[in-house]
């Protein structure tokens, strides 16, 4: 058989089919469906290797097995690569078929079932509601999926079609369809019409079915939607046998005609309107006298739909029935959308005696549908495209850029410190700010570009066919636009943004990668001061992955009790006596090894894990202090409190509960706070500090002089001690500036009647200078590094007593 004959053979098949040469494994014919699945131009697969379209590496071995004759009929699932390099999962059946006396060919049938599976998952959630709806309707209902598989039907459907009990008690779609075919007088036309409907997912149709039993059924076919997409079909069947028998039937329905909420008109055999019901006048504003003698063509025709009316009337003549939507105008000229049903009524001899038209106003339903679609694809607050619509736009940009070997840019924007606006002024005010930002972003992009909101204060700008230079120009324009003050309720303020930029195709071949990498670039802007932009670089993801891995390891370490505390002695300068210990966290991970607090504490603060870690440190340190106190050692226990931990609403109560649980005197505990803790919400901070002071807990400022130092909080807050940061101690006594700073801190503390402790003291010269400057206390390697609780007890709480006369090495 020749190649063009093979092509013609498979072109008529519903499923995708390719024919493969069994020797060279090259495609010798491929129908239109496989080109559609792979998004390729027609006839471009001929002559190419079947392995070229495979996306799964194991397909190479699969085809080697096929070529080796291990099986002449294989059914499997695999992955195929589309023209845009995306991957589609398909089901594949390979059969070896003889095409001549001495030749054969592999017939590969391919089905893409990804959409079907998604639809089936969604439909499972609605099955209970569907069943109740099916049984409560006055029509016989049959619900199918997109492939015609029967999902459900009601009892009235079974009654109209006379289904045997056997078919109602077992699941056999083919048997039910076969029964329905057998019931039809014109089974061939019925099957052809059903095929047309099946191949048109969005088609809405009405048909009249004549059964061998004598019944005439009206079948209304409507697509079933989920999130704006067709997922199946609903067929409703109504017995209209008596309705269509003769004019007497119309007379019996006179009361229904008069009281119906549907607008109805009836014509004679020549399509001249002879009567209308009251609802007709209410809907169209035309009185019955004005309509009498006119035709449906005259009533419905306008400049926009005259040709459509002719087509509708032709279909009505052929099928005897038509149903659909049509725009029409009232007497006053106002347009409205109406749902129309037209029926041709015949007598017992098949002669047309009347035409009946039913229609109702669907304008509000249409507008509501439009609104639902808008909500499905736009952000409810700003009206910008949401993630769903953004995905469609990015897909379009990828297609165009791939075709032209071009580029486009994706900018990921996050407003700086926006949470403070929501927390201080409320979410309604924050929403107004987002609306103002939205308007400014619209001014920064072209008409072909897209501004989308992902949620919260995160926005994405899609710059169609833009290069790196265009992306930079847009980013600078956004930064400049946002620097202009925002004026709301007589309040003027500025909102800045951090922007990350990813370029297609270098920074990602799909939406997920582009957004992830742009987000990573934006994160680096946040780390380096905010209110700027940055292009993505591959090393950024490495840093992000490292942080994510460390954050995950930290949380596991907390669960597995892998953290431990070491204790560094604190010494009175004058006496050399050890009066306290600072608890310092240590962590050894089996995979990562010993990890410095300087490495994992910032990540813990960023991710929020510092709250749980800080709570563990507090309980562990207070528990150790209790053990030493019970052993007769009066050691003051100091430990750090992070800003995030201090901000927790229950922080003071948790300190009090822990002290009570371990029966430790509050004056034996010292909390070391950073200056950043003190400058956030001064009134709330003062309230908490006073509550801690009333408990008896001692409070010190850690790393004093390295942050935002303010004399106002030193005066107002109940602080007991200042700790001189090691950065001022390292170069003592040689650096005059450090000497001056340490001297000033000591004098300031003593003037405010507070104690001073220096950390990081490693040499005798440093200790002597601090002693001359009248510093009260110190800690550092000169005495000892931080050691385990057991080592601390052995070194300082046993033989030597509470003193540190010599340096203890680590």
Residues 129-165 have pLDDT tens digits of: 766 766 778 889 998 988 888 888 888 988 899 899 8
Beta bridge partners of 492: 487
When the pLDDT of each residue in the chain is averaged and rounded to a whole number, the result is: 84
Which regions of the chain carry the CATH code 3.30.450.20?
3-112, 117-239, 247-368
pLDDT of residue 799: 57
Fold of the domain spanning 567-586+608-797? TIM Barrel (3.20.20)
Which of 289-293, 300-304, 525-529, 764-768 comes out lowest in average pLDDT?
A: 300-304
Question: What pLDDT is stored for residue 542 in this prediction?
Answer: 47
Please give the share of the chain, as a percent, with pLDDT higher than 90.
Answer: 28
Residues contacting 311, CB < 8 A, separation 6+: none
* Mean pLDDT lowest among 21-30, 595-604, 613-622, 674-683: 674-683
Judged by DSSP in three states, 435 sits in helix
Q: Which structure tokens are listed for 647? A: 């901000």
Out of 167-176, 293-302, 347-356, 612-621, least confident range: 293-302
Of 493, 461, 465, the C-alpha closest to 477 is: 461
Please say if the pLDDT value at position 548 is more than 80.
Answer: no
The Cα–Cα gap between 176 and 168 comes to 9
Residue 246 pLDDT > 70: no
How distant, in Å, are the alpha carbons of 39, 80, 510, 518, 787 from that of 84?
A: 8, 11, 10, 21, 60
pLDDT at 290: 81
Predicted local distance difference test score (pLDDT) of residue 410: 95
- Res 774: pLDDT: 94
Q: How confident is the model at residue 316 (pLDDT cuts 50, 70, 90)?
A: confident
- Residue 81's pLDDT band (boundaries 50, 70, 90)? confident
DSSP letters along 13-73, please? -SSEEEEE-TTT-BEEEE-HHHHHHHT--TT-STTSBGGGGB-STTHHHHHHHHHTTS-SE
Quote the CA–CA distance of 779 and 569 in Å, as a whole number.
Answer: 6
Confidence of residue 796 (pLDDT cuts 50, 70, 90): confident
**How many Cβ atoms sit within 10 Å of the Cβ of residue 61?**
10
* Residue 480 in this model has a pLDDT that exceeds 50: yes
Pair of tokens at residue 68: 């080796």
Q: Which of 61-75, 284-298, 325-339, 628-642 has the lowest mean pLDDT?
A: 61-75
Which of the pair, 644 or 764, is modelled with greater confidence? 764
Average pLDDT over residues 407-428: 87
What is the C-alpha separation between 79 and 88, in angstroms, rounded? 6
Q: What is the pTM of this model?
A: 0.43
Q: How far apart are CA 565 and CA 458, in angstroms?
A: 40
Q: Round the CA-based radius of gyration of the chain to a whole number and report it.
A: 40
- Average pLDDT for residues 780-799, to the nearest whole number? 88
Architecture in CATH for domain 247-368: 2-Layer Sandwich (3.30)
Task: Please choose, from the candidates 711, 707, 754, the residue with its C-alpha nearest in 3D space to the C-alpha of residue 727.
Answer: 707
**Which position has the token pair 């170069």?**
731
Give helix 610-630 / helix 597-607 axis angle, nearest 10°: 120
Please give the average per-residue pLDDT across 60-79, as a whole number.
76
d(CA 421, CA 14): 58
* Cα–Cα distance for residue pair 636/670, rounded to 1 Å: 7
Highest mean pLDDT among 260-274, 353-367, 574-588, 696-710: 574-588
pLDDT at 653 > cutoff 90: yes
The pLDDT value given to residue 810: 35
Strands 669-673 and 698-704, bridge-based pairing: parallel
Given a contact cutoff of 8 angstroms between Cβ atoms, the answer to whether 374 and 417 are in contact is no
Containing H/E element for 275?
Answer: strand 273-276
pLDDT category at 806 given cuts 50, 70, 90 is very low
User: What is the CATH T-level fold of the domain 117-239, as seen in this structure?
Assistant: Beta-Lactamase (3.30.450)
Q: Find, among 441, 449, 469, 473, the residue nearest to 394 by Cα.
A: 449
Q: What pLDDT does residue 570 have?
A: 94
Given a cut of 50, whether residue 311 has pLDDT beyond it is: yes
Of 54-68, 325-339, 375-389, 732-746, the range with the highest mean pLDDT is 732-746
Which residues on adjacent β-strands are paired with residue 210? 216
Query: In this model, does residue 180 exceed pLDDT 70?
Result: yes
pLDDT > 70: percent of the chain: 89
The more confident residue out of 613 and 115 is: 613
| pLDDT of the residue at 809 | 37
Report pLDDT for 459: 95
Query: For 48-62, 689-703, 772-786, which range has the lowest pLDDT when averaged over its residues?
Result: 48-62
Which band of pLDDT confidence, cut at 50, 70 and 90, is reported for residue 539?
Answer: low
Angle among Cα 704, 709, 713 to the nearest 5 degrees reads 105
Of the listed ranges 292-301, 351-360, 664-673, the one predicted with least confidence: 292-301
Residues 6+ apart with CB under 8 A from 325: 204, 337, 338, 339, 340, 362, 366
Q: What is the third-level CATH fold of 3-112?
A: Beta-Lactamase (3.30.450)
The predicted model gives 666-689 an average pLDDT of: 82
Residue 308: pLDDT band (50, 70, 90) is confident
CATH architecture for the domain at 382-536: 2-Layer Sandwich (3.30)
Every domain of the chain with CATH number 3.30.70.270 lies at 382-536
Question: How many residues are there in the chain?
Answer: 810
Tell whether the model's pLDDT for residue 298 goes beyond 90: no
């Amino acid at each position: 058989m020749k190649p063009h004959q093979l092509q013609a053979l498979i072109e008529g098949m519903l499923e995708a089919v390719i024919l493969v040469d069994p020797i060279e494994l090259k495609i010798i014919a491929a129908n239109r469906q496989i080109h559609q699945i792979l998004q390729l131009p027609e006839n471009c697969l001929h002559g190419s290797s079947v392995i070229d379209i495979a996306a799964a590496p194991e397909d190479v071995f699969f085809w080697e097995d096929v070529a080796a004759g291990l099986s002449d009929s294989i059914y499997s699932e695999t992955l195929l690569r589309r023209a845009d390099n995306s991957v589609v999962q398909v089901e594949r059946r390979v059969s070896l078929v003889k095409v001549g006396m001495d030749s054969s060919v592999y017939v590969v049938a391919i089905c893409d079932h990804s959409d079907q599976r998604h639809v089936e998952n969604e439909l499972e959630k609605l099955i209970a509601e569907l069943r109740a709806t099916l049984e409560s309707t006055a029509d016989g209902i049959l619900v199918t999926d997109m492939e015609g598989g029967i999902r459900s039907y009601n009892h009235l459907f079974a009654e109209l079609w006379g289904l045997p009990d056997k078919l109602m008690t077992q699941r056999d779609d083919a048997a039910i369809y076969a029964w329905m075919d057998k019931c039809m007088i014109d089974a061939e036309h019925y099957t052809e019409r059903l095929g047309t409907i099946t191949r048109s997912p969005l088609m809405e149709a009405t048909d009249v079915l004549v059964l061998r039993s004598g019944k005439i059924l009206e079948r209304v076919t409507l697509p079933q939607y989920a999130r704006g997409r067709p997922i199946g079909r609903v067929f409703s069947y109504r017995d209209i046998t008596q309705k269509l028998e003769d004019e007497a039937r119309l007379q019996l329905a006179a009361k229904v005609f008069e009281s119906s909420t549907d607008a109805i008109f009836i014509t004679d055999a020549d399509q001249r309107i002879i009567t209308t019901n009251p609802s007709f006048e209410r809907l169209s504003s035309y009185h019955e006298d004005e309509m009498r003698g006119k035709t449906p063509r005259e009533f419905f025709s306008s400049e926009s739909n005259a040709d459509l009316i002719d087509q509708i009337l032709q279909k009505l003549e052929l099928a005897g029935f038509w149903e659909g939507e049509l725009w029409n105008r009232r007497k006053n000229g106002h347009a409205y959308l109406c749902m129309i049903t037209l029926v041709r009524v015949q007598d017992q001899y098949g002669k047309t005696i009347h035409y009946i038209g039913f229609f109702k106003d669907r304008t509000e339903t249409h507008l509501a549908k439009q609104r639902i679609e808008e909500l499905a694809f736009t952000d409810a607050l700003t009206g910008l495209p949401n993630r769903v619509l953004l995905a469609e736009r990015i897909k379009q940009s990828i297609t165009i850029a791939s075709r032209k070997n071009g580029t486009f840019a994706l900018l990921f924007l996050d407003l700086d410190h926006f949470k403070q606006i929501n927390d201080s002024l409320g979410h309604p005010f924050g929403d107004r700010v987002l609306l103002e930002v939205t308007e400014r972003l619209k001014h920064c992009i072209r008409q072909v570009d897209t501004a989308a909101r992902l949620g919260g204060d995160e926005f994405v700008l899609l710059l169609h066919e833009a290069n790196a230079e265009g992306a930079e120009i847009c980013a600078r324009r956004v930064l400049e636009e946002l620097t202009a003050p925002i004026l709301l309720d007589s309040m003027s303020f500025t909102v800045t943004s951090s922007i990350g930029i990813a370029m297609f195709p270098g920074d990602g071949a799909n939406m997920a990668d582009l957004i992830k990498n742009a987000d990573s670039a934006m994160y680096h802007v946040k780390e380096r001061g905010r209110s700027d932009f940055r292009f993505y670089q591959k090393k950024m993801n490495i840093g992000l992955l490292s942080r994510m891995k460390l954050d995950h390891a930290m949380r596991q370490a907390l669960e597995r009790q892998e953290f431990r505390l070491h204790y560094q002695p604190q010494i009175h300068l004058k006496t050399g006596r050890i009066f306290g210990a600072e608890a310092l966290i240590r962590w050894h991970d089996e995979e990562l090894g010993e990890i410095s607090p300087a490495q994992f504490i910032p990540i813990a603060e960023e991710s929020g894990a510092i709250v749980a870690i800080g709570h563990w440190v507090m309980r562990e340190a207070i528990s150790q202090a209790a053990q030493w106190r019970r052993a007769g050692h009066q050691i003051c226990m100091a430990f750090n409190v992070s800003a995030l931990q201090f901000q927790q609403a229950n922080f003071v109560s948790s300190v009090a509960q822990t002290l009570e649980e371990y029966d430790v005197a509050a004056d034996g505990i010292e909390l070391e706070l950073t200056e950043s803790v003190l400058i956030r919400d001064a009134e709330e901070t003062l309230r908490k500090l006073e509550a801690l002071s009333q408990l008896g807990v001692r409070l010190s400022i850690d790393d004093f002089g390295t942050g935002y130092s303010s004399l106002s909080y030193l005066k107002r807050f109940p602080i007991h001690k200042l700790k001189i940061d090691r950065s001022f101690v390292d170069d003592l006594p040689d650096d005059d500036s450090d000497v001056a700073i340490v001297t000033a801190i000591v004098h300031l503390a003593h003037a405010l009647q507070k104690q001073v402790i220096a950390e990081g003291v490693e040499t005798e010269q440093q200790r002597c200078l601090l002693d001359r400057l009248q510093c009260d206390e110190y800690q550092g390697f000169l005495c000892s590094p931080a050691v385990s609780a057991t080592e601390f007890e052995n070194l300082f709480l046993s033989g030597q007593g509470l003193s540190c006369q010599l340096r203890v090495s680590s």
